[in-house]
Structure 1
Amino acid sequence: MRIVHVCLCGPYTDGFAYQENELVTQHVAQGHQVIVLATTETYGADRKPMRVSPAETKTADGARLIRLPYRRWAPRALMAKLRTFPGVAQQLERLAPDAILFHGLCAWEMLTVARYAKRHPELLLYADCHEDFNNSARTFLSRWGLHFCFYRPIVRRCLSRIRSILCVSLESITFARQMYGIPAAQLEFYPLGGMVYDDAEYAATRIEQRVAHGWNEHSIVFMQTGKIDQAKRLTDSLKAFVNLPGEHLRFVIAGQIMPDVLAEVAPLIDGDPRIENLGWITATQLRSLLCAGDVYVQPGSQSATMQMSLCCRCVVVLDAVPSHRVFVDDNGVLVANKAELAQALTRLALASRQELDRMSKRSATIAAKLLDYRQLAQRVLV
């Protein structure tokens, strides 16, 4: 099949482990012809936003990547919200896709794609929704000016052409119903996923990485990863950890710590030799690291690394928000405050290896059922 991923609602960076990257990877691996329509916005090697020139290139996976500029009807800052691009209709006619996944609901060009779908009723058109009330519509102008008065009419006009709206969380389902008025029957839970390891690959990766880091069978390794701002609550995690006794305990940080957070956590990191800050690592390195770890800690805002950690069989400590409840079933702990976070880390630090292994297997079961990108990639092809 010829599949087009429309990524016009934000930056697209080749080589990342975001949903759009992983689905492209899977579709290419499954033998499909894959094209990505993306903005000229991306992230550079220094992890900072940057712009590139409109061009057609190849992704590392071998998909065609076509970058389009914003129209120049208004200042760029406004166009980045309206998300209208020249040549989308012409690209679709030229590419003649069998399936389209529109990543995000917030773009003028959804109308263009819906018009193409009207002319080609055999097209499989899906759209996903990452928005929720935690990350979108947080100000009066954003909620009523942008989402309600601009995005909502666009989405509703396109609904008859879209087979299903794929929501990455339960909170996204709530947002889509309340903000855009999308009928519940057209909304589907479609979580961010990960690469699910088989037993042999997982075991080999875990052993290799634990030897490389000097962790033995008695070590209990906690991890917190990603782009870490105040909302991720790393400071709370480390304050809870440093009070735990035991030389067999480790706390590993992998990611980019924002400067204001680093100022808070640096004394904690420097003051406890059991804490290690690895800095930013690649998606491949992160997967291997998570396989070596025991407990993934995410007491704050949501991150796609949580799903990756489940795929790597980690026990999880997660913020007690609705979107996390489906992922925690005898394989971790939901925490709502600092006291519960401290209690969770204490409980897991005292757990036997047999108990941690049992919970790890539960994470593997949940991941295989809900999060395997090989299965998620197939969903948009039927």
Structure 2
Amino acid sequence: MKIVHLCLSNFYIEDFGYQENLIPKYHKKNGHDVTIIASRFTYRKDNGQPDLAESGEYINSNGIKVIRIDYKHKWLGKLNDKLKIYQGTYNLLEKEKPELIFNHGIQFLDLLEVARYVKNNPNCKLIADNHAAYINSGTNKLSREILHKRIYKRVIQKALPSIEKIFVLAPGCRDFVREMYNVTNDKMEYLYLGADTEMINFNNRNEIKRRIRKVLNIDNDDCVLITGGKLTKGKNTELLLKSIQKIDDKKLKLIIFGAFSDDIKDEMLKLIELDDRVTYIGWLNGEDVYDYYLASDIAIFPGTKSALWEQAICSGLPLICKKWKGMEYVDIGGNCIFLENDNENIVINSINKLRNDNRLLVQMKNIAETKGYDTFSYERISKQVIP
């Protein structure tokens, strides 16, 4: 099947572990002819900061053709980042002649061009997904009432007859689509985020653990927590660091990977320096994240939701994470401990619960490595979207 993945509603970062990377990867692996049409919006690999890729066409590391396109109306300035009207979207679809279009995100005006193509080419099916929820979108009145409830809603409603299915990543994403855009439940289906399970090397786990811990000067019998990602204030890294400081245990270690946003970077680095049990390793390539998970015992994310949660679960890690409405699905049978609020004592008690109960720790690991691995594997997820 000829499949075009459209990444025009948001960013597209080459060689990362996001859905926009991995579903196309497994579609290609399963024998489909795949093209990605993406915006220029990306992030730098060395520090995780926003960046713009060059317009043009290239073949990525998975052997997939990627076409980067720019905005059509430069005079709109910053408004382009909200409206998202691109150069030649319809013509590119005419050239690629897809049988299936997977639209990653529905919040862009060129959705109308995509719907027009599908209407004019009834042999092509259009599916889409929605990543937006109340925790990451429509967070102020102007965005909520004007951008989402009027502009995006009008576009989505006009395109809706051409869309076969809108996949939602979590219950919170379903609520957002229903309440903001008036899309009915029968048009939606769950499609969870996941992990590139091909990168998780359970067979060499012990060797990977020894190698990484040796480099980081961490003993094999230490209890290692790991956290990371795009470390903005909302990720609550400060809360985690201050909580760790209050746990008197030299065998407890914390690995932090990723990039701090500029507004908190200096403060966080100073906090890290205060505790020699904390190791900050900077930005990691997507495939390297899995090895560091295999070298750890517990994943902990006390702030906003990240795709790294599912990746940690697939790597066989118990998960301590902030409880968000509609995100409870990451608990697939006892692999998670939820933090009810931003309280140091709750974080400390959750860590101690696993640190002092090896039987519970092993039980949660087993659930993650078996049921979690199957639930959040992109190899399985990629097949779910094929009509």
State TM-score, norm by structure 2.
0.93
CA RMSD of aligned residues (A): 1.9
What do the CA deviations read for 1:135-176 (whole angstroms, capped 9, x no partner)? 111222211211111110111122222121111121111100
Q: How does 1:354-369 map to 2 (within 5 A)?
A: 354-369=359-374
* Contact persistence 2:318–2:364 (CA under 8 A): yes
Distance 2:30 2:287 in 1: 20
Larger mean CA deviation between 42-51 and 290-299 belongs to 42-51
Unaligned runs of 5+ in 1: none
C-alpha deviation, 1:291, in angstroms: 1.3
Aligned length: 381
Alignment partner, residue 84 of structure 1: 85
What is the correspondence of 1:275-354 to structure 2 with a 5 Å cutoff?
A: 275-328=278-331, 329-337=333-341, 338=343, 339-352=345-358, 354=359
After alignment, is 100-109 or 253-262 more displaced? 253-262
Q: CA deviation at 1:270?
A: 1.5
| Deviation per residue, 1:273-332 (Å, 9 max, x gap) | 111011111111111101111111111111111111111111111111123312123223
Runs of at least 5 residues in structure 2 that lack an aligned partner in the other structure: none
Aligned to 1:42: 42
Asked if 1:175 is matched to 2:176, the reply is: yes
Q: After superposing the two structures, state which structure 1 stretch, 358-367 or 98-107, moved more.
A: 358-367
- The separation in 2 between residues aligned to 1:292 and 1:14, in whole angstroms, is 25
1:216, CA displacement in angstroms? 4.2
Which residue matches 1:186? 187
Task: Give yes or no for contact 1:56–1:66 (8 Å, CA) kept in 2.
Answer: yes
Contact 1:6–1:101 (CA under 8 A) maintained in structure 2: yes
Aligned position for 1:115:
116
Number of the residue aligned with 1:260: 263
Q: Is the 8 A contact 2:209 2:295 kept in 1?
A: yes
In structure 2, what is the Cα distance between the partners aligned to 1:42 and 1:321?
Answer: 27
Structure 2 vs 1, CA of residues 259 and 109 (structure 1 numbering), >3 Å: closer, same or farther? closer
Q: Structure 1 residue 360: deviation in Å?
A: 0.6
The reply to whether residue 250 of structure 1 matches residue 253 of structure 2 is yes
| Aligned 8 A contact 1:202 1:312 in 2 | no
Matched, 1:380 2:385: yes
Q: Secondary structure at the match of 1:285?
A: helix
| C-alpha distance in 2 between matches for 1:51 and 1:270 | 33
Question: Quick one: distance in 2 between partners of 1:219 and 1:46?
Answer: 29
2:17 and 2:201 map into 1 onto residues whose CA distance is 19
- Residues 1:149 and 2:150 aligned together: yes
Counterparts in 2 of 1:260 and 1:41: CA distance versus 1, 3 Å: closer
Residue equivalent to 2:131: 130
**Structure 1 residue 98 displacement after superposition:** 1.5
- Residues 131 and 173, structure 2, Cα contact 8 Å, conserved in 1: yes
Counterpart AA for 2:133: D
Which range moves more in the overlay, 342-351 or 220-229?
342-351
Given candidates 213, 228, 231, the residue that maps to 1:225 is 228
Letter in 2 for 1:88: T
Give the conservation status (yes or no) of the 8 Å contact 2:354–2:360: no
Contact kept, 8 Å, 1:16 with 1:283, in 2: the verdict is yes
- Report the 3-state secondary structure (helix = DSSP H, G, I; strand = E; otherwise coil) of the residue aligned with 1:363: helix
Q: Classify 1:58/1:214 alpha carbon distance in 2 versus 1 (closer, same or farther; 3 Å).
A: same
Greater Cα shift, 113-122 or 177-186: 113-122
Deviations 1:204-262 (A, max 9, x none): 54454345444444211001100111111111111111221222211110011223333
CA distance in 2: counterparts of 1:53 and 1:174, whole angstroms: 36
The Cα offsets for residues 101-139 of structure 1, whole Å up to 9 and x where unpaired, read as 101111111111112222333323110101111111122
Instruction: Say which SS state the counterpart of residue 193 (structure 2) adopts.
Output: coil
Pair 371,16 (structure 1): closer, same or farther in 2 beyond 3 Å: same
Question: Do the aligned residues in 1 keep the contact of 2:230 with 2:261 (CA within 8 Å)?
Answer: yes
Task: Provide the rounded CA distance (Å) in 1 between the counterparts of 2:117 and 2:140.
Answer: 33
